[in-house]
């Protein structure tokens, strides 16, 4: 399936090796689809940051995650929907890190949620099987709200050679 192309791509020479080239958005999309762990950054109502690891699936140019409605990240999103999601490696000289900036928008359409639930189970296995009820994922632990982040800006950090690419979307 074709993906949305960025409106601009820029290699920042201040943070890039002279041998580096701007990253390929198609490669970043592949990495977003394959990555298993993401880190979500939100802002608490008092302005302090909150960061937590979570699982996510990439589909239709959007990164989706879920969370219980009483968890800190959802309480933060009730006040401020701007988020940052990151994924990558902990290695210094290999791999590629990705940082997504955008707005977390709740997904409550049950047909869409059933599609996403199937993606979660396909990607993460049967321990991550969700039923869909009342506009949310439901499992034995309770309801989990689902949010989608369509990137506004994405940063790619290559490590060999070092390179920082910024992709912007209209």
CATH of the domain at 73: 2.30.110.10
Q: Is 135 helix (H, G, I), strand (E, B) or coil?
A: coil
Q: Does residue 20 form part of some domain?
A: yes
Q: Looking at the domain assignment, is residue 143 inside a domain?
A: yes
Quick one: pLDDT at residue 1?
Answer: 57
Q: In this structure, is residue 85 part of a structural domain?
A: yes
The answer on pLDDT for 153 being more than 60 is: yes
In the chain, the number of structural domains is 1
Q: Is residue 50 part of a domain?
A: yes
Would you state the pLDDT for residue 41?
98
For residue 9, pLDDT over 80 is answered with: yes
Mean per-residue pLDDT, 123-143: 92
Q: Tell me: the pLDDT tens digits for 93-105?
A: 999 999 999 999 9
What is the residue range of 57's domain?
8-168
Mean pLDDT across 121-126: 96
Q: Is residue 28 situated within a structural domain?
A: yes
* Residue range 20-46, pLDDT digits in tens: 999 999 999 999 999 999 999 999 999
Of all residues in the chain, what percent carry a pLDDT higher than 70? 99
pTM for the structure as a whole: 0.95
**Would residue 36 count as lying in a domain?**
yes
Residue in the structure block whose two tokens are 């969700």: 130
Query: Residue 114 pLDDT > 90, yes or no?
Result: yes
Query: How many whole angstroms separate alpha carbon 67 and alpha carbon 160?
Result: 35
Q: What is the 3-state secondary structure (H, E, C) of 7-42?
A: CEEEECHHHCCCCCCCCCHHHHHHHHHHCCCEEEEE
What average pLDDT does this structure show over 77-90? 97
CB 45 within 8 Å of CB 79: yes
Label the pairing between strands 56-59 and 82-87.
Answer: unpaired
C-beta separation of 136 from 146 below 8 A: yes
- Backbone angles phi and psi of 51, in degrees to 5: -130, 135
pLDDT at 73: 97
Query: Helix, strand, or coil here: 160?
Result: coil
* Residue 3 located in a structural domain: no
Please check whether residue 27 lies inside any domain of the structure: yes
Instruction: Give the C-alpha separation, 90 to 67, whole Å.
Output: 25
Percent of the residues in the chain that have a pLDDT greater than 90, as a whole number: 94
């Amino acid at each position: 399936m074709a993906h949305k192309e960025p409106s601009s791509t820029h290699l920042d020479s201040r943070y890039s090796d002279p041998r580096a080239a701007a990253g390929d958005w198609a490669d970043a999309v592949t990495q977003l689809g394959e990555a298993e762990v993401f880190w979500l950054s939100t802002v608490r109502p008092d302005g302090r940051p909150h960061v937590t690891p979570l699982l996510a699936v990439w589909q239709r140019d959007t990164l989706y995650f879920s969370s219980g409605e009483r968890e800190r990240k959802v309480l933060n999103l009730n006040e401020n929907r701007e988020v940052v999601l990151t994924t990558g490696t902990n290695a210094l000289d290999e791999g590629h890190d990705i940082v997504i900036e955008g707005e977390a928008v709740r997904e409550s359409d049950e047909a869409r949620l059933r599609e996403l639930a199937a993606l979660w189970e396909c990607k993460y296995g049967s321990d991550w099987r969700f039923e869909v009820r009342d506009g949310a994922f439901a499992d034995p632990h309770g309801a989990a709200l689902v949010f989608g982040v369509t990137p506004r800006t994405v940063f790619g950090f290559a490590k060999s050679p070092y390179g920082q690419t910024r992709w912007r979307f209209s």
